[in-house]
Amino acid sequence: MRVIRATAMGLCFGVQDALEMVESIERPERVTIYGELVHNGLVQERLKRLGFRQAAEVGRERSLPETPIVLITAHGVSEAERRRLEAAGREVIDTTCPLVRRAHRAAVALQAQGYFVVIIGKPDHVEVRGLTGDLTRYAVVDRPEAARPYGAARIGLVCQTTTPPPLVRAIAEAVTAANPDAQEIRLVDTVCRPTRERQQAMDQLLDQVEAVVVVGGRHSNNTRALTERCRARGVRAWQVERAEELDPAWFAGIEVVGLTAGTSTLDVTIDEVERVLLAIGAGDRSTKLSAERGDRAPEPVS
């Protein structure tokens, strides 16, 4: 079995910067990470071992962290939440991705200019909750069918940074169709460049393979989008967080498998998944050669 890597995959610069900043902290026990630094189970396990505390992403606004330092994750928070933390005397370390900051600025600017703001993204995602935290009139739309009439003369659309570009276009068209009386509908496309590059690389990969393994956290929006992109094209896809989750039975009869990963996936994890895939492929070839020679399989040991 041959393994073909996507030409763009794995860690983006925003996640890389956040990881490097965390690794430089000398006293982790004094720091609460405000949510998941990145949506990567292996990273979460390491941070816990180092002594960092972690606030839950859901419902965290109801209580203040006990530690004197709070670290804002790459997904960001609203300015209102940041001010609340600072007013309570917490020192804030900010690892918000610059491209997420750009989306925040776009949403606030649209509201200031009198637009009703529509956020294209997942309503329950931490990044989207940060985007909406500074808005008073808004809607969140995660699929074209969710678009509604908003009774606004001017509608501005902003994207969660990891939204697949084809979905952005489909939702923008649906919002336009649902609001024929709007005088202006303006889209500020805040999908980040790494997301675009990984989606484009996926499209190229799908023309070369029979199936794809997508490596990334189960809560990672951009990783899930890569998996969904495969299935939308009719290509089998499996999403795993680590190599141990691979099942050799998945690849029976497959000659060429693609490999890609979300923007919060470590290089070492991708390399390990590839190593195991190649080992599975070597095992498949050995089995085929034995069958062609007429070799009998060993009797099971009881």
**Angle, nearest 10°, between helix axes 221-232 and 193-206?**
30
**Phi (first) and psi of residue 163, to 5 degrees:** -75, 135
Q: Residue 252: helix, strand or coil by DSSP?
A: coil
CB atoms within 10 A of CB 292: 8
The answer to whether the CB of 100 falls within 8 A of the CB of 17 is no
The structure tokens listed for 90 are 């917490």
The answer to whether the CB of 198 falls within 8 A of the CB of 222 is yes
CB atoms within 10 A of CB 257: 23
**Phi (first) and psi of residue 155, to 5 degrees:** -125, 130
Catalytic residue positions, numbered: 127
Please list the residues that pair with 140 across neighbouring strands: 119
Tokens 């809607």 belong to 139
DSSP states of 143-172? SGGG------SEEEEEE-TT--HHHHHHHH
* CA–CA dist 28, 49 (Å, integer): 10
DSSP 42: H
